[in-house]
Structure 1
Amino acid sequence: MFRGQFAHTIDAKGRVSLPARFRDGLVAQGDPRFILTPALFDPCLHLYPMRAWEELEEKIAGLPSFDPNIVRFRRLYLSAALECELDKAGRVLVPPALRERVGLAKDALWAGMGRTVELWAQERWDAALALSDDERVAFERAVMEQIRV
């Protein structure tokens, strides 16, 4: 499981270090490879360990091929997926097109999301989490009701 938030800097070549805790999580799953793909609803990248990505691909392969929403999903999510490995320094090279798509320039934030990880531009992460007190209370209540806590 991937947990926690870690701020990192993207270098001039577009490389960013994956936090050691997340690297260890990949190694523990038996395959150091992973997938980076743009999120559909947020300005961030999703990182899937290879096994989790393959499970997702299997589920998607079983969906109707002629459903326009499924076709569009495949085009938006699957076709943008990039198989990656870390370099010897524990960094991933994020291609310019992916960096531009989600606004990654210098300050980045890795966010553990359980089975996956998100990579955000720090300022977009901060904006996404900015809620008024009333919004936060309403949000927390709605989520807690869903998970019955």
Structure 2
Amino acid sequence: MNIFLSNTVNKIDAKGRVSIPSQFRSVLENQGFAGVYLYPSFTTQSIDGGGESLINQIAQSIEKMQLFAEETDALATALFSETYQLNYDQDGRVSLPGSLIKHAGLKDRVTFAGIGQKFQMWEPSAFESFKNDARIKALQNRDLIGPSVNFSKNSQVDE
């Protein structure tokens, strides 16, 4: 499968380096790049990450917009000028830019959370809170997935 799944917590060293989880590196390498694209999330206090597939999808979406519109330039600037293309070393580590560390409020640990075509990097306690809220919203909106997926209507959320 060529999507990002699961979540894990990794340490950030004193130099701001963190190891990209091996299963995430496999997805990235299957897309033809031994590295990662990272940018500040627009919707949460986290970092969005992905590979060639994600960055190409973003570029194609922006290319469909009106070429000389202010909205197009604003979106392209916000996305592309704040995206970092980072190669990882032989140990699978990347050096996180200070602006991304600050945006996500990271200290010495980071939670990597796979969310399909991309992944997010969170301060661990912030992710736990977000994940709990997301589970509640997902259960409330499970009918949006369609009839082919059978979720139990008796599912409970641990509180």
Structure 2 match to 1:122: 124
Structure 1 match to 2:152: none
Q: Which runs of 4+ in 1 moved over 4 A?
A: none
Mapping of residues 64-75 of structure 1, within 5 Å: 64-75=66-77
Shift of 1:5: 0.4
In the aligned structure 2, how far is the partner of 1:110 from the partner of 1:119? 5
The AA in structure 2 aligned to 1:51 is S
Structure 2 match to 1:42: 44
Please say which of residues 118-127 and 34-43 is displaced more in the overlay. 118-127
In the aligned structure 2, how far is the partner of 1:34 from the partner of 1:81? 10
Q: Which string of whole-angstrom CA distances, capped at 9 and with x for unpartnered residues, describes residues 49-70 of structure 1? A: 1233123212212211344443
RMSD: 2.0
Where 2:77 maps in the other structure, the secondary structure is helix
Q: Among residues 50, 75, 78, which one is paired with 1:76 in the alignment?
A: 78
Where 1:128 maps in the other structure, the secondary structure is helix
Q: TM-score, normalised by structure 2?
A: 0.81
Name stretches of at least 5 consecutive residues in structure 1 with no aligned partner: none
CA pair 108-72 structure 1, distance change in 2 beyond 3 A: same
Structure 2 match to 1:94: 96
Structure 1 match to 2:65: 63
Where 2:116 maps in the other structure, the secondary structure is coil
Structure 2 match to 1:22: 24
Where 2:94 maps in the other structure, the secondary structure is strand
Shift of 1:97: 1.2
The AA in structure 2 aligned to 1:47 is G
Shift of 1:41: 0.8
Does residue 146 (structure 1) correspond to residue 148 (structure 2)? The answer is: no
Contact 1:33/1:50 (8 A) holds in 2: no
Contact 1:40/1:76 (8 A) holds in 2: no
In the aligned structure 2, how far is the partner of 1:46 from the partner of 1:58? 18
Q: Which string of whole-angstrom CA distances, capped at 9 and with x for unpartnered residues, describes residues 106-129 of structure 1? A: 121001111111111112212223
Structure 2 match to 1:104: 106
